[in-house]
């Protein structure tokens, strides 16, 4: 026999038993408000990155015709800004998805409570499972890493600009130290961005697993209420 809380003989996680529906948790309230703005902002940032990439391609074409220190500085500067804005856009879109998951969980929490209240035989609401905590912690950590990476790309862009603005030729940067700094930051930031995206996707997977846990709990609870109604009829 399984230990711990059960519904109809099936093991479930710990849950509240109340007479009134519980309110939304803070992440669910925030998710209901922010999922759309974050998604829209992310899409806009991706388009900004796309526009910068087009500008960089045009300047590169001009640079291939005739070398210019200003054009070279702009090309290298945009080379840092494009991935910075692109991955900041990804961060916002992933945040929108994460907030949408929190919103869905809030709908289940509120809706499940209202259904049980209508039946009138008590309300069972699951505690936030460990998968939800992992989802939240991973999402916040990934967001902070990508914001830091964006700031790092801004710094690397300034270094790249300083390195080439006084260049005398395609292979002769004016400031070798700044060039080295920009290239070092670019190398580290590439790995950091990829790690953050992987962490974000893994966190979203835990968020989806939380939705499955909640659906299973509420399915068992609805079945329990239905069987209780038949027994009392």
CB 149 within 8 A of CB 84: yes
**In the predicted structure, residue 230 carries a pLDDT above the cut 70:** no
- pLDDT at residue 152 in the model: 97
Neighbours of 175 (CB within 10 A): 18
Instruction: Specify the DSSP class assigned to residue 128.
Output: P
| End-to-end CA gap in the chain | 30
Token pair, residue 109, equals 């929490």
pLDDT tens digits, residue range 37-76?
A: 999 999 999 999 999 999 999 999 988 888 889 999 999 9
How many other CB atoms sit within 10 Å of the CB of residue 148?
Answer: 13
Identify the CA nearest to 157 among candidates 93, 76, 40.
76
Closest CA to 156 of 176, 186, 180: 186
Phi, then psi, of 30 in degrees rounded to 5? -65, -40
DSSP readout, 106-120?
Answer: HHHHHHHHHHHHHHT
Q: Among 95-104, 163-172, 174-183, name the most confident range.
A: 95-104
Render the burial of 73-84: b for 16+ CB within 10 Å, e for the rest.
bbbbbbbbbbbb
- pLDDT value, residue 211: 96
The 3-state DSSP class for residue 205 equals helix
Q: pLDDT category, 27, cuts 50, 70, 90? A: very high
Average pLDDT over residues 143-163: 95
Range in 69-83, 125-139, 158-172 with the lowest mean pLDDT: 158-172
pLDDT tens digits along 127-138:
999 999 999 999
Q: What is the DSSP letter of 66?
A: S
């Amino acid at each position: 026999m399984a230990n711990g809380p059960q519904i109809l003989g099936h093991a479930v996680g710990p849950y509240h038993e109340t007479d009134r529906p519980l309110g939304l948790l803070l992440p669910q309230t925030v998710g209901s408000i922010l999922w759309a703005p974050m998604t829209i902002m992310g899409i806009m940032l991706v388009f900004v990155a796309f526009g910068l990439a087009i500008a960089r391609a045009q300047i590169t074409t001009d640079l291939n015709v005739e070398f210019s220190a200003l054009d070279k500085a702009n090309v290298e500067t945009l080379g840092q800004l494009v991935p910075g804005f692109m991955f900041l856009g990804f961060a916002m879109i992933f945040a929108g998805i994460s907030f949408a998951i929190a919103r869905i969980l809030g709908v289940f929490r509120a809706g499940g409570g209202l259904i049980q209240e209508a039946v009138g035989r008590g309300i069972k609401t699951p505690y936030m499972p460990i998968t939800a905590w992992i989802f939240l912690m991973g999402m916040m950590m990934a967001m902070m890493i990508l914001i830091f990476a964006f700031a790092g790309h801004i710094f690397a862009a300034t270094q790249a600009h300083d390195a080439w603005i006084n260049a005398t030729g395609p292979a002769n940067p004016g400031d070798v130290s700044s060039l080295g700094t920009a290239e070092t930051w670019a190398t580290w930031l590439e790995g950091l961005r990829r790690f953050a995206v992987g962490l974000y996707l893994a966190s979203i997977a835990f968020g989806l697993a939380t939705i499955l846990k909640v659906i299973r709990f509420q399915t068992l609870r609805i079945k329990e209420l239905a069987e209780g109604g038949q027994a009392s009829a």
